[in-house]
Amino acid sequence: MATLQFSVNPIRAEAFPRRNSMSALIDLAGGSCSKLRLWKICRTVKSRPLRNRRSFAVKNVSSSEATEILKDSGSREEVTTNLSPLPDAASIASSIKYHAEFTPMFSPENFDLPSAFFATAQSVRDALIINWNATYDYYERLNVKQAYYLSMEFLQGRALLNAVGNLELTGPYAEALNNLGHKLEQVACQEPDAALGNGGLGRLASCFLDSLATLNYPAWGYGLRYKYGLFKQRITKDGQEEVAEDWLEMGNPWEIVRNDVSYPVKFYGKVVPGSDGKNHWIGGEDIKAVAHDVPIPGYKTKTTINLRLWSTKAASEDFDLYAFNAGKHTEAYEALTNAEKICYILYPGDESIDGKILRLKQQYTLCSASLQDIIARFERRSGGAVNWEQFPEKVAVQMNDTHPTLCIPELMRILIDIKGLSWKDAWNITQRSVAYTNHTVLPEALEKWSLDLMEKLLPRHVEIIKMIDEELVESIIAEYGTADSNLLEKKLKEMRILENVELPAAYADLFVKPKETVVIPGEELQNSEEAEEEEEEEEEAIGEKDGTDESLIEDKKEELPEAVPEPPKLVRMANLCVVGGHAVNGVAEIHSEIVKDEVFNSFYKLWPEKFQNKTNGVTPRRWIRFCNPNLSKIINEWLQTNDWVLNTEKLAELRKFADNEDLQTQWREAKRSNKMKVVEFLREKTGYSVSPDAMFDIQVKRIHEYKRQLLNILGIVYRYKKMKEMSAEERNAKYVPRVCIFGGKAFATYVQAKRIVKFITDVGATINHDPEIGDLLKVVFVPDYNVSVAEVLIPASELSQHISTAGMEASGTSNMKFAMNGCLLIGTLDGANVEIREEVGADNFFLFGAKAHEIAGLRKERAEGKFVPDPRFEEVKEFVRSGAFGPYNYDELMGSLEGNEGFGRADYFLVGKDFPSYIECQEKVDEAYRDQRTWTRMSILNTAGSHKFSSDRTIHEYARDIWNIDPVQIP
């Protein structure tokens, strides 16, 4: 029997004949290769049993016979595999040397660290590509239902250690590189973090991809390939400085450009009816979205899924050669530049109209290119006859926040205008295929777009959105009737997709109120007419007396009120998501309740079956197994297994050892070893020297007022002030030594957040150079916080701060990572903190602050002038204003915490309200830390209690409750 062969390019399988394995390997080697080289590739990636093998050479079944088996039996038949050992260090070293010589990105004479990284990454990619092709070839033949995860962010971090770890090749690669004169860890540090995300939204998406691959779910990620990402953060004497990220400067060894996979994306133009009865979107600006694929390997499985990133470009003919030769160089490049800049940076500033247009172009490019690709795959897998009714049975599209909302009108446009479906059928298919994850309750993050701008940029989509809005209006009227016009008007105002837009023509008369007519009796009418005549005569007399001076006449007239500007017409993207999808989920229990009770309450009452909770999770592979090998080794030893990496429920078994002195000793040693790495890291990155004997107190996340880094630093200022008022003996007796570490980026145009960064760095500069304080207190802001920095800081953390204003953090995921690594949390009852506290135990969580249900009342109390600030809070603000931390004027920052109303004032995020309970809770932290035996026990229980916060659990729930997909084991 012939060997089962697979297509080298699973994405466009129909374009390739089925070829033998040698041909496939030749393709991998770049089209030409010696037999020795092929032997080395084969040696590099060997076949292993299910969940323990990385590639396969299938015997005894031809490809056509295998396909028939799959079709006829309807089951996934086991296929015999060759059993071979893992590649050894020698064959891996050979592969690395080959890439250094024949696929180099550096001069061949030096095999330095950068060169070693690229050659090693390309060696690993050889293994990934084989599994990757096998995965998608299998999905193609089975025609399985597939989930597609659309996100504007994927915060991946470095890929090398994660890839070799998931492939279970860490040891062999470490030995191979050692034989070549390098350390694996040093080589891995050469890799820049992929600048494809900003914060938790993007890191969650990347954790999800890891879990999808590990759990063998057929899925794909879609995003944009940002050339510069968000920005690289530098910390100067002026605070945060933004510079362009250079992550692609030396190339990306993990990606494969699919020049044969590109799709047209249109902007502007106009919609005209055609003779065929369809609407046609014509004219405008046309660009191309080109696919760049990044393989995502699962852990202990051959399944390797895909992250497809789109770059944008214009056609070559759009380069104006005539203008260039005429010396008009900028004009000649205009079309090319306009296309390419769409994928320049993540979240371009949208203060200007051009910035808003660019952001909307980004969102539409992601949606349009991805849906065209999804539909092409569906049609190919369907064969000759495409049954569109089956589309929701084969496709699940998950919108990660509101950024991909345009998926809804875009899918409708393609189905109606291009595929010829009726509105009813297209709407049914769209609603059954699309689902929405809400990540925020903040109004500014529930996107609203100018209707006029969208109508200009995407005219056909606005037509479709208006029709969806009209159907929604019809549903609301059907639900609430017209008897209570006030109630109906309220519901329409809350729920409509179009805000400040007149009702559709069919309902235009629904709320028309009759004009009031005033009946004036005859005598009064006559008197009023006489009065008008007298007024006119008086004005004429004044005019004659003063010549052309009209001012007195104008003064005598009643002043007219200023015209009130019409409110802007907006498209509410979150409302469109709820209406257009079949499922809406929050990302923590408390957040999902707020979504139902407040954010989308009217929708919840109308469609309660749509709303779900899916508490976030993080991958235990990256966030314990790989970033904290010291702790992982201890867990393996005490649980007598490493199965917890795939089944985190086993971590709960650590509870029974929490009081064991031997475990506690090992636990503390592992923590100290991790802290020593951070000591060196901080010295290198910031120049500050800190003591590993101090408590490491860390808050790392996006800088935002609601996350309340300001509360943290004001607490530190209070601590410092009290220290300065004491003798050295008193200070040492009262306070536990602390290193307070901050990290995170403030958005470039978020002035208040940038003030907070400046304030933290100024406080640090003062405290860290105060000889009286010494190692008793240090404050360090780590520049350019990213995934790789987190992988260093989190294993060393002892206390982490998750102190957002209650009810404002949807979930958070860094709290889960810290808990997994045995870090104690101080925080409010907000987001996933609530569930973490339940799991780790209330005694092992430092709780403070107002509750979510109290926030509205507290803000109302403030507005009424009833809030009385704590004297300690007033003391801290006065200390800041005294100039203790340098000459910078912090009146604006402190002023935001004062007053009872007004934008940027009135302490909207309740820093002052929670300040007293926060500093009192910090005193409890000091007390607990003094007893290291108790603290270590709490630390162990935090790791044990984190067992429910694996992204594997979250993905199982999405697959079961929203996507309706099953795992598919690759043979």
579 lies in the same domain as 679: no
Q: Which residue has the higher pLDDT, 325 or 908?
A: 908
Q: Please identify which of the residues 225, 817, 837, 937 carries the catalytic annotation.
A: 817
Q: Which of 333, 337, 342, 334 is nearest to 310 (CA)?
A: 342
Domain for residue 331, yes or no? no
Percent residues over pLDDT 70 in the chain: 86
For residues 649, 949, 816, 930, the Cα torsion angle rounded to the nearest 10 degrees is -30
Answer for the pair 288, 315: CB distance below 8 angstroms, yes or no.
yes
The question of whether 701 is a catalytic residue gets the answer yes
pLDDT above 60: residue 521? no
Q: Which of 307, 293, 194 is nearest to 247 (CA)?
A: 194
Answer for the pair 930, 694: CB distance below 8 angstroms, yes or no.
no
Q: Please identify which of the residues 37, 203, 707, 719 carries the catalytic annotation.
A: 707
Q: Which two tokens stand for residue 799?
A: 């206390």
Q: Convert the pLDDT of each residue in 589-641 to its tens digit.
A: 999 999 999 999 999 999 999 999 999 999 999 999 999 999 999 999 999 99
Domain with residue 724: its CATH number is: 3.40.50.2000
Q: What is the mean pLDDT of residues 223-241?
A: 96
Q: What is the mean pLDDT of residues 928-934?
A: 97
Domain for residue 553, yes or no? no
572 lies in the same domain as 651: no
Domain for residue 933, yes or no? yes
Q: How confident is the model at residue 728 (pLDDT cuts 50, 70, 90)?
A: very high
pLDDT above 70: residue 84? no
Contacts of residue 610, defined as CB under 8 A and 6 or more positions apart, other chains included, come to: 578, 581, 582, 583, 584, 603, 604
Domain hosting residue 580, numbered range: 443-503+568-613
679 lies in the same domain as 726: yes
pLDDT at 154: 97
799 lies in the same domain as 930: yes
The question of whether 439 is a catalytic residue gets the answer yes
pLDDT above 50: residue 71? no
Contacts 24+ apart (CB under 8 A), 506-512: 506/470, 507/473, 507/477, 510/477, 510/482, 510/485, 511/485
pLDDT above 80: residue 512? no
Contacts of residue 207, defined as CB under 8 A and 6 or more positions apart, other chains included, come to: 617, 618, 619, 622, 813, 951
The question of whether 813 is a catalytic residue gets the answer yes
- Bridge partner list, 345: 229
Q: What is the mean pLDDT of residues 100-106?
A: 85
Residue 835: Cβ within 10 Å count: 20
Q: How confident is the model at residue 536 (pLDDT cuts 50, 70, 90)?
A: low
Q: Please identify which of the residues 702, 754, 758, 948 carries the catalytic annotation.
A: 702
Classify 39 as helix, strand or coil: helix
pLDDT at 318: 87
Q: How confident is the model at residue 45 (pLDDT cuts 50, 70, 90)?
A: very low
Domain for residue 340, yes or no? no
Domain for residue 599, yes or no? yes
Q: What is the mean pLDDT of residues 417-435?
A: 97
The enclosing H or E element of 493 equals helix 485-495
> What are the Cα distances from residue 955, in Å, to 39, 337, 960?
38, 39, 8
Domain for residue 254, yes or no? no
pLDDT at 332: 84
Q: What is the mean pLDDT of residues 274-297?
A: 94
What one-character DSSP code corresponds to residue 959? I
pLDDT at 17: 32
Average pLDDT along the chain: 88
Q: Convert the pLDDT of each residue in 942-965 to its tens digit.
A: 999 999 999 999 999 999 999 999
Least confident stretch, 177-186, 535-544, 587-596, 802-811: 535-544
pLDDT at 563: 73
The question of whether 707 is a catalytic residue gets the answer yes
605 lies in the same domain as 726: no
Cα–Cα distance, 123 to 41 (Å, whole number) = 9
Tell me the CB-side half-sphere exposure of residue 221, using CA atoms within 13 A.
34
The question of whether 817 is a catalytic residue gets the answer yes
Q: Convert the pLDDT of each residue in 234-253 to its tens digit.
A: 999 999 999 999 999 999 99
**Residue 918, class by beta-carbon neighbours within 10 Å (0-12 exposed, 13-18 middle, 19+ buried)?**
buried
Domain for residue 167, yes or no? no
pLDDT above 80: residue 10? no
DSSP string, 777-832: EEEEEESS--HHHHHHHHHH-SEEEE-PPTT-----SHHHHHHHTT-EEEE-S-TT
Cα–Cα distance, 573 to 451 (Å, whole number) = 11
Domain for residue 859, yes or no? no
Give exposure, 480-499, as e/b (b: 16+ Cβ within 10 Å). Answer: beeeeeeebeebbeebbbbb
**Residue 591, class by beta-carbon neighbours within 10 Å (0-12 exposed, 13-18 middle, 19+ buried)?**
buried
pLDDT at 52: 35
Q: What's the chain's Rg over C-alpha atoms?
A: 32
Amino acid at site 162: N
Q: What is the mean pLDDT of residues 168-173?
A: 95
pLDDT above 70: residue 385? yes
Tell me the CB-side half-sphere exposure of residue 451, using CA atoms within 13 A.
18
Distance of CA 453 to the CA centre of its chain: 25
Least confident stretch, 46-60, 428-442, 499-513, 750-764: 46-60
Q: Which two tokens stand for residue 604?
A: 């919840």
Q: Which two tokens stand for residue 104?
A: 């180099």
Of 579, 613, 647, which marks where a domain is finished?
613
Residue keyed to tokens 């760095």 = 761
Q: What is the mean pLDDT of residues 766-773?
A: 97
Contacts of residue 762, defined as CB under 8 A and 6 or more positions apart, other chains included, come to: 885, 886, 888
677 lies in the same domain as 741: yes
600 lies in the same domain as 627: no
Strands 146-150 and 219-224: parallel
pLDDT above 60: residue 135? yes
Percent residues over pLDDT 90 in the chain: 78
Of 585, 613, 641, which marks where a domain is finished?
613
pLDDT at 245: 94
What is this structure's pTM? 0.88
715 lies in the same domain as 771: yes
**Residue 425, class by beta-carbon neighbours within 10 Å (0-12 exposed, 13-18 middle, 19+ buried)?**
middle
Q: Please identify which of the residues 439, 461, 491, 837 carries the catalytic annotation.
A: 439
591 lies in the same domain as 683: no
634 lies in the same domain as 598: no
Q: Phi and psi dihedrals of 209, rounded to 5?
A: -60, -40
650 lies in the same domain as 573: no
Q: Convert the pLDDT of each residue in 667-694 to its tens digit.
A: 999 999 999 999 999 999 999 999 999 9
Q: Work out how many domains the chain is built from and give that number.
A: 2
Tell me the CB-side half-sphere exposure of residue 953, using CA atoms within 13 A.
18
Q: Please identify which of the residues 214, 813, 936, 943 carries the catalytic annotation.
A: 813
Q: Which of 652, 645, 651, 653 is nearest to 620 (CA)?
A: 645
Q: Convert the pLDDT of each residue in 639-649 to its tens digit.
A: 999 999 999 99
**From edge to edge, which strands make up the β-sheet containing 304-313?**
256-267, 285-297, 304-313, 219-224, 146-150, 395-400, 434-437, 584-586, 611-613
Q: Which two tokens stand for residue 827?
A: 């925080």
728 lies in the same domain as 833: yes
Strands 799-802 and 824-827: parallel
Q: What is the mean pLDDT of residues 326-354?
A: 91
Biggest CA–CA distance in the chain, Å, is 116
The question of whether 881 is a catalytic residue gets the answer no
